[in-house]
């Protein structure tokens, strides 16, 4: 399926829609979720046009993949959730309830998150 250039995260990347940036590097951006589900809820997205975890894993360069991983670690440290722990979620496609068709990793922390699924 073709990447939707009008999706909300594409608009955040282009500066069309504002966001609360936590950190960024050359290939990835981290910003706070508009509807936080935990005391710390940050989204990390590649700057490249990848629709899902599947696309990112298959098509992104190793440099882009490394940059996203590095940014996740950096965000965990600067938000001070790295020691007590946190959760990464990448909702994917229909069954995963992915709402925004630009690959993103949720970083959730700042308190006990319970078990992985309700």
Provide the binding-site residues for ligand 5GP, judged by CB under 6 A.
8, 17, 19, 31-35, 91, 97-100
Closer CB to ligand 5GP, 94 or 115, in the complex: 94
Q: Which of 41, 74, 102, 104 is catalytic?
A: 104
Rg (C-alpha) for the chain, rounded Å, is: 14
Q: Is 104 a catalytic residue?
A: yes
What gap in Å lies between CA 95 and CA 97, rounded to an integer?
A: 5
| Smallest separation, CB 96 to ligand 5GP (Å) | 8
* Three-class SS state of 57: helix
In the beta sheet, which residues pair with residue 46? 28
| Smallest separation, CB 73 to ligand 5GP (Å) | 20
Closer CB to ligand 5GP, 43 or 60, in the complex: 43
In 15-116, alpha helices (H): 53-59, 62-78
User: Which residues are annotated as catalytic?
Assistant: 104
């Amino acid at each position: 399926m073709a990447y939707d250039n009008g999706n909300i995260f594409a608009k955040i990347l282009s500066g069309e829609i504002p966001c609360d940036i936590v950190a960024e590097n050359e290939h990835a951006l981290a910003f706070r979720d508009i509807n936080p589900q935990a005391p710390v809820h940050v989204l990390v997205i590649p700057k490249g046009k990848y629709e899902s975890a599947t696309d990112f894993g298959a098509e992104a360069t190793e440099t882009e993949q490394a940059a996203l991983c590095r940014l996740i670690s950096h965000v965990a440290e600067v938000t001070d959730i790295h020691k007590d722990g946190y959760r990464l979620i990448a909702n994917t496609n229909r069954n995963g309830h992915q709402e925004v068709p630009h690959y993103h990793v949720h970083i959730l922390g700042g308190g006990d998150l319970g078990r992985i699924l309700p």
